[in-house]
Amino acid sequence: MRRNVFIVLLLCVAEALFAQQEIIMPPFLKAGDTIAVISPSSTPDSLTVVKGCDALRTWGFVPIVGLHALDNYHNFAGRVDERASDLLWALQDSTVRAVMCSRGGDGAVQVLRHIPLNEFRSHPKWVMGFSDVTALHSAAVSAGVMSIHSTMCDGISSQGRRDSVNAILHHLLLGELPSYQVPAHPLNQYGEAEGILVGGNFSVFCGLAGSDYDFLNRADEGLILFMEDTGESMTKVDRMLHQLEIRGILSKLKGIIVGHFSKYKSPENDFADMYEMLHEYLQQLPIPVCYDFPVGHHSTYNYPLIEGCRVRLKVDSKGTSLIF
């Protein structure tokens, strides 16, 4: 009995120490480095993957597609163990320097229980993607490793309107940290804050609440949270917002960045749009809040953001600045 109690105490101490680990920045890339392209979520269009790989080559990198990246099992890119094996390969293979997810969709959360958190820490690499890939970002930051919330194969393969955003991601991979200036929004709440940037798809990271993969477990370290979503009703978003309040997360945040919310029913509950609904509650918080930041499901603008990185957020009458 005493031995079992001692083991439990050791595990609790180890877990506490792990949660307090400093978040490290993976090595940046150079021309000729290999980027693994995997599909931890839904099945991508094969042509999109081809074009995405072509784009990576124009950036000077060498793409290599995961064994199961184009598989199709129900709505997923292969069975969960197959998708997990691709992620594990991408992390453990020493010739792979970064990981780009082909698309979002559904299913990334299934992969997490097959990947020990220490694999992210033992093999720190830039993991790129957004939407459902928020689950991987949350796991990486929980393990103490930064990642990149960014567009994926379909985005980097698009010519024209997205060129400027793609250039930011390209330069970021080579070590050039971005800084952003965003126009003012009438609902913005002024202020300045420094903190660790985390976030992504609202429904995805709320679905990880309280688990070992939840980056909001680091709330005591001072977080700046960004959120976006698509296809979720105002009622559902309101419910998730209050979930954060009940957990005591909102009161610990240093700042909030509200990105794109799309494909929801509007108006609803007498609110003109999602931003008005969010503002109804967030205006009570004594922290800077930025609305309409260019991140998330948008046809053109989805700025790359470094998850787990310390940033400075400033919101005033001139607009919003975010500096890494």
**pLDDT at residue 129 in the model:** 99
Q: How confident is the model at residue 161 (pLDDT cuts 50, 70, 90)?
A: low
Are 126 and 91 contacting, i.e. CB atoms less than 8 angstroms apart?
no
Tell me which residue of 144, 187, 154 sits closest to 273, measured CA to CA: 187
Indicate the pLDDT class of residue 11, thresholds 50, 70 and 90: very low
Q: How far is it between the farthest Cα atoms of the chain?
A: 67
Q: What is the 3-state secondary structure (H, E, C) of the chain?
A: CHHHHHHHHHHHHHHHHHHCCCCECCCCCCCCCEEEEECCCECCCHHHHHHHHHHHHHCCCEEEECCCCCCCECCECCCHHHHHHHHHHHHHCCCEEEEEECCCCCCHHHHHCCCCCHHHHHCCCEEEECHHHHHHHHHHHHHCECEEECCCHHHHCCCCCCHHHHHHHHHHHCCCCCEEEEECCCCCECEEEEEEEEEEEHHHHHCCCCCCCCHHHHHHHCEEEEEEEECCCHHHHHHHHHHHHHCCCHHHCCEEEEEEEECCCCCECCECCHHHHHHHHHCCCCCCEECCCCCCCCCCCCCCEEECCEEEEEEECCEEEEEC
Lowest mean pLDDT among 37-46, 125-134, 268-277, 315-324: 268-277
Which pLDDT tens digit goes with each residue over 71-123? 999 999 999 999 999 999 999 999 999 999 999 999 999 999 999 999 999 99
Q: Using pLDDT thresholds of 50, 70 and 90, give the confidence band for residue 9.
A: very low
Cβ atoms of 227 and 199 closer than 8 Å: yes
Higher pLDDT, 307 or 161: 307
Length of the chain: 324
Q: Provide the phi-psi class of 147: left if phi over 0, else alpha when psi is between -120 and 50, else beta.
A: beta
Confidence of residue 7 (pLDDT cuts 50, 70, 90): very low
| C-alpha of 245 from chain center | 21
User: What is the structure's pLDDT at 8?
Assistant: 40
Are the beta carbons of 162 and 153 closer than 8 angstroms? Answer: no
What pTM was computed for the model? Answer: 0.93
Lowest mean pLDDT among 3-17, 117-131, 192-206, 298-312: 3-17
With a CB cutoff of 8 Å and minimum separation 6, the contacts of 213 are 112, 117, 135, 138, 139, 142
Q: What's the average model confidence in pLDDT over 38-65?
A: 97
Mean pLDDT of 45-68: 97
What are the structural domains of the chain?
34-174 (3.40.50.10740), 179-323 (3.50.30.60)
Instruction: For 184-237, write each residue's pLDDT tens digit.
Output: 999 999 999 999 999 999 999 999 999 999 999 999 999 999 999 999 999 999
Q: Mean per-residue pLDDT for 243-268?
A: 95
